[in-house]
């Protein structure tokens, strides 16, 4: 029997990393590829204790509201208000991770042929969502302050797109952060052209210099009375990913539509996970925990950066040290092919993500993304040695000059 799959399924390009990692199962690979938090920092005991308390109320095991547990939304509302985001519980939707917020936003807004504006490069799995909805995607270049406002204005004026998708704080994959001025400028443009902004903020809590962090677009929009920002974030990076609990904060009319779409998608997210998270938020110093994560990740980033900067082999590589998040973004010199480098790296026992997949237009063949949050310091050092061996082999194969240490 021949299965007649929908044409959108051919849009899902298979991830190079997934394919290569499949071939290397059983090998000891040091992975700098995923956006994974450090397992040894997970608050396991506190979570275990939170789960032990949720079963006291049998109703929490029953079907729940699509919008999410009222108690969790109340706690979240308070937490967001401390960050300048005005979101009453009715302006919040609990999702199965922030990936679902992106997917639901696409469902409520996009028709086939609609245009979505993104940064270029941007989060790969968001591009997949937009592609599978049949939307066209226009990626705009960024400068050191964020998405280029001149390009954005032209794109909004010419196309009146429904949606702008951005990660203004510790972008994926580049780790860059938008300036306050650029944020204001983008808000004014989107307000003028009535374009909804989906602000994806999974990494905002992971700032190495929290006092210098500009407010989120959503906080600025709330202060200015602009209702067009859908803000999404997650507990995946601050508590644990396995929970799959994220949220969307938006105008109540938008939340109502997102909830309709979610009801049809999966009825609601796990009430047990939601209830345990609510228990955790009440009894645990999450902000203290986040401070510990930040300090550890800042240290790991520095170690990885030092490995790159202190080795003459890597001299031609450009890297901008990020002020938070989970990623180093490298631009490599010359003609090296990143798929070749990845294949050699896997042979040497280390993995990364080639940059091309993050681009909307096939660019990025000399870029790679390295994750520094997941690996312990000694693992980072070993992984960077392996990457160096792969890089030397890659340069020699492609006839590039690489200083040999």
* Stretch 223-262 residues interacting with a second copy (CB under 8 A): 226-228, 236, 240-244, 251, 253-254, 257, 260-261
Q: What is the dihedral of CA 287, 274, 35, 112, to 10 degrees?
A: -130
| 263 binding a second copy? (CB under 8 A) | yes
- In the shown chain, the binding pattern of residues 332 to 361 toward a second copy, with x for contact by CB under 8 A and - for none, equals ------------------------------
- Min CB(371)–a second copy separation in Å: 12
Q: Please, which residues have CB within 8 angstroms of residue 117's CB and are 6 or more apart in sequence?
A: 138, 139, 140, 152, 155, 156, 159, 161, 163, 164, 165, 195
Residues 6+ apart with CB under 8 A from 59: none
Q: Which of residues 48-87 bind a second copy (CB under 8 A)?
A: 48, 51-52, 55, 58-64
Q: Is residue 4 involved in binding a second copy (CB under 8 A)?
A: yes
* Strand pairing category for 327-331 and 367-371: antiparallel
> Is 128 a residue that touches a second copy (CB under 8 A)?
yes
Q: Does 24 bind a second copy (CB under 8 A)?
A: no
Considering the rule CB under 8 A, would residue 9 count as an interface residue with a second copy?
A: yes
**Based on CB atoms, which residue is closest to a second copy, 100 or 207?**
100
By CB under 8 A, tell whether 5 contacts a second copy. Answer: yes
Reply yes or no: is the peptide bond before residue 173 cis, omega within 30 of 0.
yes
Gap between the Cα atoms of 81 and 97, Å rounded: 20
For a second copy, the binding residue among 25, 40, 113, 378 (CB under 8 A) is 40
Nearer to a second copy, 44 or 315 (CB): 44
Give the nearest distance from C-beta 253 to a second copy in angstroms.
6
Name the phi and psi angles at 234, rounded to 5: -155, 155
Question: Does residue 136 bind a second copy (CB under 8 A)?
Answer: no
Contact region with a second copy (CB under 8 A), list: 140-148, 271-279, 311-319, 361-369: 271-279
Contact status, residue 205 vs residue 238, Cβ threshold 8 Å: yes
* CA dist., res. 9 & res. 5, Å (int): 7
Q: Is 404 in the site for a second copy (CB under 8 A)?
A: no
Q: How far is the CB of 264 from a second copy (least distance, A)?
A: 5
Pick the closer one to a second copy by CB: 107 or 294.
107
| Residue 122 to residue 109: CA distance in whole angstroms | 20
Residue 269 engages a second copy in binding (rule: CB under 8 A): yes
- What single string gives the DSSP state of each residue in 145-184? TEE-HHHHHHHHHHH--SEEEE--BS-TTT--B--HHHHH
**Token pair 């009825």 is at which residue?**
267
């Amino acid at each position: 029997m021949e299965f007649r799959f929908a044409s959108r399924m051919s849009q899902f390009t298979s991830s190079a990393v997934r394919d290569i990692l499949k071939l290397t199962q059983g090998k000891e690979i040091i992975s700098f590829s995923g956006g994974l938090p450090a397992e040894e920092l997970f608050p396991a005991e506190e979570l275990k204790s939170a789960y032990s308390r949720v079963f006291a109320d049998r109703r929490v095991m029953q079907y729940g509201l699509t919008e999410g547990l009222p108690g969790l939304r109340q706690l979240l509302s308070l937490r967001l208000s401390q960050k300048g985001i005005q979101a009453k519980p009715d302006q919040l939707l609990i999702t199965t991770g922030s990936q679902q917020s992106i997917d639901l936003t696409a469902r409520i807004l996009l028709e086939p042929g609609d245009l979505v504006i993104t940064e270029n490069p941007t989060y790969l799995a968001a591009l997949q969502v937009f592609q599978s909805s049949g939307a066209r995607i226009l990626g705009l270049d960024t400068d050191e302050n964020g998405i280029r406002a001149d390009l954005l204005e032209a794109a909004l004026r010419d196309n009146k797109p429904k949606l702008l998708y951005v990660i203004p704080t510790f972008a994926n994959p580049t780790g860059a952060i938008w300036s306050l001025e650029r944020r204001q400028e983008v808000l004014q443009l989107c307000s003028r052209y009535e374009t909804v902004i989906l602000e994806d903020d999974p990494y905002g809590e992971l700032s190495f210099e929290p006092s210098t962090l500009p407010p989120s677009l959503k906080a600025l929009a709330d202060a200015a009375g602009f209702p067009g920002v859908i803000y999404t974030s997650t507990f995946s990076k601050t508590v644990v990913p396995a929970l799959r609990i994220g949220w969307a904060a938006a105008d109540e009319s938008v939340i109502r539509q997102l909830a309709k779409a979610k009801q049809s998608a999966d009825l609601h997210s796990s009430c047990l996970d939601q209830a345990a998270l609510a228990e955790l938020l009440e009894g645990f110093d999450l902000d203290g925990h986040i401070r510990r994560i930040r300090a550890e990740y800042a240290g790991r980033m520095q170690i990885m950066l030092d490995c790159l900067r202190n080795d003459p082999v890597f001299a031609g590589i450009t890297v901008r040290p990020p002020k938070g998040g989970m990623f180093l973004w490298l631009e490599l010199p010359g003609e090296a092919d990143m798929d070749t480098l990845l294949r050699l790296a896997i042979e040497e026992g280390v993995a990364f993500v080639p940059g091309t997949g993050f681009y909307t237009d096939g660019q990025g063949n000399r870029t790679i993304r390295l994750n520094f949050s997941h690996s312990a310091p000694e693992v980072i050092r070993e992984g960077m040695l392996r990457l160096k061996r792969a890089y030397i082999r890659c340069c020699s194969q492609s006839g590039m000059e690489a200083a040999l240490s």
